[in-house]
Amino acid sequence: MIIKHLSEHKTFWFLTALGWTIFVAFLCLVNNNDLPSIGMKISGIDKVIHFLFHFIFTLLWSIYYFSKDKMLTPKRVIIIVIASLIFGVMIEWLQASFTLTRQADVLDVISNTGGAISSGLLVYHLLKKHFHSNT
Protein backbone atom coordinates (compact mmCIF):
# COMPACT_ATOMS: atom_id res chain seq x y z
CA MET A 1 0.00 0.00 0.00
CA ILE A 2 2.71 2.51 0.98
CA ILE A 3 4.91 1.49 -1.96
CA LYS A 4 1.98 1.88 -4.39
CA HIS A 5 1.20 5.34 -2.97
CA LEU A 6 4.84 6.45 -3.28
CA SER A 7 4.92 5.50 -6.93
CA GLU A 8 2.17 7.96 -7.86
CA HIS A 9 4.22 11.15 -7.40
CA LYS A 10 7.30 10.92 -9.61
CA THR A 11 7.74 14.70 -10.10
CA PHE A 12 7.58 15.27 -6.35
CA TRP A 13 10.17 12.55 -5.70
CA PHE A 14 12.46 13.81 -8.45
CA LEU A 15 12.40 17.36 -7.07
CA THR A 16 12.86 16.06 -3.52
CA ALA A 17 15.86 13.89 -4.48
CA LEU A 18 17.40 16.67 -6.58
CA GLY A 19 16.78 19.21 -3.83
CA TRP A 20 18.42 16.92 -1.27
CA THR A 21 21.44 16.48 -3.55
CA ILE A 22 21.83 20.24 -3.94
CA PHE A 23 21.28 20.79 -0.19
CA VAL A 24 24.01 18.27 0.70
CA ALA A 25 26.44 19.77 -1.82
CA PHE A 26 25.77 23.26 -0.46
CA LEU A 27 26.26 22.25 3.19
CA CYS A 28 29.45 20.37 2.37
CA LEU A 29 30.98 23.19 0.35
CA VAL A 30 29.86 26.34 2.19
CA ASN A 31 32.32 28.12 4.46
CA ASN A 32 32.25 26.53 7.94
CA ASN A 33 31.95 29.96 9.51
CA ASP A 34 28.70 30.59 7.60
CA LEU A 35 26.94 27.60 9.17
CA PRO A 36 24.89 28.05 12.35
CA SER A 37 26.32 26.59 15.54
CA ILE A 38 24.36 25.01 18.37
CA GLY A 39 27.04 26.06 20.84
CA MET A 40 28.33 22.62 21.74
CA LYS A 41 30.64 20.15 20.09
CA ILE A 42 29.67 16.51 19.85
CA SER A 43 32.56 14.27 18.96
CA GLY A 44 32.02 12.47 15.67
CA ILE A 45 28.72 14.20 14.85
CA ASP A 46 29.99 15.15 11.40
CA LYS A 47 30.43 11.44 10.57
CA VAL A 48 26.84 10.75 11.63
CA ILE A 49 25.71 13.64 9.44
CA HIS A 50 27.66 12.24 6.45
CA PHE A 51 26.07 8.83 7.07
CA LEU A 52 22.59 10.39 7.13
CA PHE A 53 23.27 12.57 4.07
CA HIS A 54 24.03 9.51 1.95
CA PHE A 55 21.43 7.26 3.56
CA ILE A 56 18.74 9.79 2.62
CA PHE A 57 20.34 10.46 -0.80
CA THR A 58 20.13 6.76 -1.69
CA LEU A 59 16.64 6.40 -0.27
CA LEU A 60 15.21 9.42 -2.12
CA TRP A 61 16.75 8.52 -5.47
CA SER A 62 15.51 4.94 -5.03
CA ILE A 63 11.98 6.17 -4.35
CA TYR A 64 12.18 8.45 -7.39
CA TYR A 65 13.26 5.64 -9.73
CA PHE A 66 10.59 3.37 -8.30
CA SER A 67 7.95 6.07 -8.89
CA LYS A 68 9.26 6.69 -12.41
CA ASP A 69 9.53 3.09 -13.59
CA LYS A 70 6.93 1.48 -11.26
CA MET A 71 9.66 -0.94 -10.32
CA LEU A 72 13.15 -0.93 -8.89
CA THR A 73 15.62 -3.70 -9.57
CA PRO A 74 18.55 -4.66 -7.36
CA LYS A 75 20.82 -3.54 -10.22
CA ARG A 76 19.26 -0.05 -10.13
CA VAL A 77 19.72 0.11 -6.34
CA ILE A 78 23.40 -0.78 -6.78
CA ILE A 79 23.76 1.96 -9.40
CA ILE A 80 22.17 4.49 -7.02
CA VAL A 81 24.52 3.42 -4.20
CA ILE A 82 27.51 3.80 -6.55
CA ALA A 83 26.22 7.24 -7.64
CA SER A 84 26.02 8.25 -3.97
CA LEU A 85 29.60 7.11 -3.42
CA ILE A 86 30.84 8.99 -6.49
CA PHE A 87 28.94 12.09 -5.35
CA GLY A 88 30.55 11.82 -1.89
CA VAL A 89 34.07 11.44 -3.28
CA MET A 90 33.46 14.34 -5.64
CA ILE A 91 32.37 16.54 -2.71
CA GLU A 92 35.52 15.60 -0.77
CA TRP A 93 37.67 16.45 -3.79
CA LEU A 94 35.89 19.79 -4.19
CA GLN A 95 36.42 20.53 -0.49
CA ALA A 96 40.13 19.86 -0.81
CA SER A 97 40.54 21.74 -4.07
CA PHE A 98 38.24 24.75 -3.88
CA THR A 99 37.42 25.63 -0.27
CA LEU A 100 39.51 27.35 2.37
CA THR A 101 37.63 26.18 5.47
CA ARG A 102 37.04 22.56 4.43
CA GLN A 103 39.33 19.63 3.87
CA ALA A 104 38.92 16.17 2.43
CA ASP A 105 38.55 13.40 4.98
CA VAL A 106 38.71 9.68 4.25
CA LEU A 107 36.51 9.05 7.32
CA ASP A 108 33.80 11.15 5.66
CA VAL A 109 33.99 8.87 2.62
CA ILE A 110 33.68 5.83 4.90
CA SER A 111 30.64 7.39 6.60
CA ASN A 112 29.13 8.21 3.20
CA THR A 113 29.68 4.62 2.11
CA GLY A 114 28.05 3.25 5.26
CA GLY A 115 24.98 5.45 4.77
CA ALA A 116 24.60 4.63 1.08
CA ILE A 117 25.03 0.88 1.56
CA SER A 118 22.71 0.79 4.61
CA SER A 119 20.02 2.61 2.67
CA GLY A 120 20.54 0.38 -0.37
CA LEU A 121 20.16 -2.73 1.79
CA LEU A 122 17.01 -1.32 3.38
CA VAL A 123 15.51 -0.51 -0.03
CA TYR A 124 16.47 -3.97 -1.33
CA HIS A 125 14.91 -5.62 1.73
CA LEU A 126 11.69 -3.62 1.31
CA LEU A 127 11.54 -4.46 -2.40
CA LYS A 128 12.11 -8.12 -1.74
CA LYS A 129 9.40 -8.12 0.93
CA HIS A 130 6.99 -6.18 -1.31
CA PHE A 131 7.42 -8.39 -4.37
CA HIS A 132 7.27 -11.64 -2.38
CA SER A 133 4.01 -10.53 -0.74
CA ASN A 134 2.49 -9.78 -4.19
CA THR A 135 3.24 -13.18 -5.71
Span 27-37, mean pLDDT? 75
Q: What is the pLDDT of residue 125?
A: 87
Q: What is the pLDDT of residue 13?
A: 92
Q: What is the pLDDT of residue 89?
A: 96
| pLDDT one-digit tens code per residue, 98-124 | 888 888 899 999 999 999 999 999 998
In this prediction, residue 45 has a pLDDT band, given cuts at 50, 70 and 90, of confident
What is the DSSP secondary-structure string of the chain?
-HHHHHTT-HHHHHHHHHHHHHHHHHHHHS-GGGS---S---TTHHHHHHHHHHHHHHHHHHHHHHHHHS---HHHHHHHHHHHHHHHHHHHHHHHHH-SS----HHHHHHHHHHHHHHHHHHHHHHHHHHHHT-
In this prediction, residue 21 has a pLDDT band, given cuts at 50, 70 and 90, of very high
| pLDDT one-digit tens code per residue, 70-91 | 888 889 999 999 999 999 999 9
| pLDDT one-digit tens code per residue, 61-75 | 999 998 888 888 889
